[in-house]
Structure 1
Amino acid sequence: MRQVSDEGAHQLIHQALLYDGDHECLSATTDFCLDGLAAGDKVLVVVAEAKIALLREKLAEPASEVEFVAAREWYRAPGRTLAALDRHIAAHKSNHGRVRIIGEPVWDSRTQLEECEWIRCESVTNAAFASRPAWFVCLYDRRTLPEHILTGAGRTHPHLLTGSGGRDSDSYVDPALFACPGDEFPLPPAPANTTVIAFGADLGLMRQRLVAHIAALGLPGERAQDILLAVNEVATNSVEHGAGHGLVTLWTSGTTLVCDIVDSGRMTVPLPGFLPPALTAGHGHGLWIARQLCELVQVRADPDGTQIRLHLAMT
């Protein structure tokens, strides 16, 4: 693992460990944990449960000083994961030490859309925590992961680690310039069978129709409230910061409710809704809140307007 000089101790380090075997991964992560504990750093490990068991055994007694979280519990939705990281770093940072985090994102059973948004989440990490005293090491298994995921690791991590050492990533892309394949194209059109709700300055009528639509789907109460709040927050942004009016289009895809909010205003904010809004800001919370409530959020903006697509699990 690359060591950090004292003068850089309060700035982000974001590395990808590209490993070829279990022994290599276990050795590197054990050293990272022990070095952190020796330096007085807080250490969090977010990996599969099988790796947690191996790392606990390898660390022995010092394992009691490390916090472990199962990866499937942590990597459920990109917006929620970024918020959890923000809370964890804020809770454990100190004047002298770092917050060290080992994470292994969950890639199996992801759709192409989900893969894209999780790769984007890795990119956003560099902007969201740029000035925070955090050191991330993200694990990528070169034996099992497809090439586009490994390529994404190089594009989203400034530093790469392998069995032969560490180096700066030649393919790293600044988060403000990062794009997933397909970002330049419009989102797929909505299917024919949809519900369309127009809204203007008074959002009350939209909320009434939305409540009726949600009730017809028979959603659980808490999930119904999440959907209502997410759509209302994005529509409020359209009214206050966009064109002042727009359309909500809803449909279901399997067990997911998909919702488009479209207006003719153009969103120009970089990384919309990914970065925690300043506590003193009078606005800008809407899309951040939507990302906490939704499994996925897609954004498209061009001179003709802005389209925000929310994906919400109905169970």
Structure 2
Amino acid sequence: MRQAEEGSNPAASDPASTLIHQALLYDGIETFAAAAARFCLDGLARGDRIMAVVTPPNIEALEDVLGADAARVELVNALEWYDAPGRTLDACGRYVNTHQLDHPRVRMLGEPVWRGRDRAQEAEWTRYESMLNAAFAGSPVWIMCTYDTRALPRHIVDDARRTHPELVTGHGTTVSPAYTEPSEFGHSRDLLPLPPPGQDYGTRHVFDADLRLLRQYVTAWAAAGELPAETADRLVIVVNEVAANAVEHGGGRGDILLWTEDDSICCDIRDAGRPDGEGLELFAGYLPPTSATARGYGLWVARQLCDLVEVRTGQAGTQVRLRLRRT
């Protein structure tokens, strides 16, 4: 067991080119503020770039401890930052790319938002936490994600132990014995089937390589449902991108089902395709593609435009479920 002395962290001695990804498990706002302030002050002393993405009460607590040094930390409201897993992961990547050349490390203190999430959203945000390990592997990045063990459900905290290589508590820093590599963690989640659609849905529509007809079908469905123009446009774009993948990798055809669920638009796209390589498919759409023709581009676009994207691949084929807020 590696333990950190007060005001220090053994991970600080790791090479700057090595990703450090930790879960701070705290049981009170004072514990949070003390650990978060140490993380920030240590980074400032080393010339690191620091962004703290936490909820407003924790921003206030952190500012109180940091004092004048708070002005040297970029403070961001977590309720605005954590809006969709794909968009947030991309925003992290852009932040790192912007600052990594001018600083020894880029540090990000993050407080994922779990309140108000349903189980599907929880699962994808947990997968986001796991994907950080793949997205920033070998990068000069130090990420500390905070978890309030008093307020969060046990399964959320248990998953934090699986998605973070290191744990930080009031007793120090330790290697997480439950940590699971992103490929293995993602595969375990993919074994869980998606729930059936809600009651408000129609019939499945079959499509082939003529995606123009599919776009017309989706446009007509959106018009019948009186969707806002911006939402309808996003829906047509993401359906076209995912369907193009289905045509290319799923035998030239697929089917689509559209329905509404509370204030969301939901869409299932199925095809007969199966993964050629487990690792490639598990990471597809999470990391920015090198070009518009690169594999995974369609899923990446979907993750940027949708509020939730779920993918399941098995012997029966591939199922992609998209969710967009109506407004």
TM-score, normalization: structure 2? 0.91
Q: In the TM superposition, what is the alpha-carbon distance from 1:7 to its structure 2 partner?
A: 6.1
**Residue number among 61, 79, 87 corresponding to 1:80 in the alignment:** 87
Q: What is residue 5 of structure 2 aligned with on the other side? A: none
Q: What is residue 288 of structure 1 aligned with on the other side? A: 300
CA distance in structure 2 between the aligned counterparts of 1:209 and 1:7, rounded to whole angstroms: 54
1:46-125 mapped onto 2 (5 Å cutoff): 46-94=53-101, 97-125=104-132
Q: In the TM superposition, what is the alpha-carbon distance from 1:64 to its structure 2 partner?
A: 1.3
Q: In the TM superposition, what is the alpha-carbon distance from 1:271 to its structure 2 partner?
A: 2.2
Q: What is residue 184 of structure 2 aligned with on the other side? A: 177
Q: In the TM superposition, what is the alpha-carbon distance from 1:31 to its structure 2 partner?
A: 1.2
Residue 7 and residue 22 in structure 1: after superposition, are their counterparts in 2 closer, same or farther (change >3 A)? closer
- Count matched residues: 315
Q: What is residue 202 of structure 1 aligned with on the other side? A: 210
Q: In the TM superposition, what is the alpha-carbon distance from 1:293 to its structure 2 partner?
A: 0.8
Q: In the TM superposition, what is the alpha-carbon distance from 1:187 to its structure 2 partner?
A: 1.8
Q: What is residue 241 of structure 2 aligned with on the other side? A: 233
Q: Deviations over 1:132-154 (max 9, x none)?
A: 21100000111111111110010
The answer to whether residue 225 in structure 2 is matched with residue 217 in structure 1 is: yes
The answer to whether residue 108 in structure 2 is matched with residue 140 in structure 1 is: no
CA distance in structure 2 between the aligned counterparts of 1:260 and 1:281, rounded to whole angstroms: 23
**Residue number among 34, 49, 67 corresponding to 1:42 in the alignment:** 49
Q: Note if contact 2:29-2:61 (Cα within 8 Å) is conserved in structure 1.
A: no
- Whichever residue aligns with residue 104 of structure 2, its letter is G
CA distance in structure 2 between the aligned counterparts of 1:71 and 1:18, rounded to whole angstroms: 17
**Residue number among 284, 288, 294 corresponding to 1:272 in the alignment:** 284
**Residue number among 18, 22, 40 corresponding to 2:29 in the alignment:** 22
For the residue of structure 1 that corresponds to 2:246, the secondary structure is: helix
The answer to whether residue 319 in structure 2 is matched with residue 307 in structure 1 is: yes
CA distance in structure 1 between the aligned counterparts of 2:30 and 2:110, rounded to whole angstroms: 17
- Whichever residue aligns with residue 299 of structure 2, its letter is L
- Give unmatched runs, 5+ long, in structure 2: 1-7
CA distance in structure 1 between the aligned counterparts of 2:273 and 2:150, rounded to whole angstroms: 46
Q: In the TM superposition, what is the alpha-carbon distance from 1:191 to its structure 2 partner?
A: 4.5
Q: Deviations over 1:217-274 (max 9, x none)?
A: 2222222111111111000111123211110110111111110110111134222211
Q: In the TM superposition, what is the alpha-carbon distance from 1:281 to its structure 2 partner?
A: 5.8
Q: What is residue 3 of structure 2 aligned with on the other side? A: none
Of 278-287 and 150-159, more deviation after overlay is shown by 278-287
Q: Note if contact 1:251-1:259 (Cα within 8 Å) is conserved in structure 2.
A: yes
CA distance in structure 1 between the aligned counterparts of 2:187 and 2:58, rounded to whole angstroms: 29
Q: In the TM superposition, what is the alpha-carbon distance from 1:55 to its structure 2 partner?
A: 1.4
CA distance in structure 2 between the aligned counterparts of 1:288 and 1:280, rounded to whole angstroms: 10
TM-score, normalization: structure 1? 0.95
* Higher helix residue share: 2
Aligned-pair RMSD on alpha carbons?
1.8
The answer to whether residue 182 in structure 2 is matched with residue 189 in structure 1 is: no
CA distance in structure 1 between the aligned counterparts of 2:187 and 2:37, rounded to whole angstroms: 33
Residue 280 and residue 262 in structure 1: after superposition, are their counterparts in 2 closer, same or farther (change >3 A)? closer
CA distance in structure 2 between the aligned counterparts of 1:281 and 1:137, rounded to whole angstroms: 34
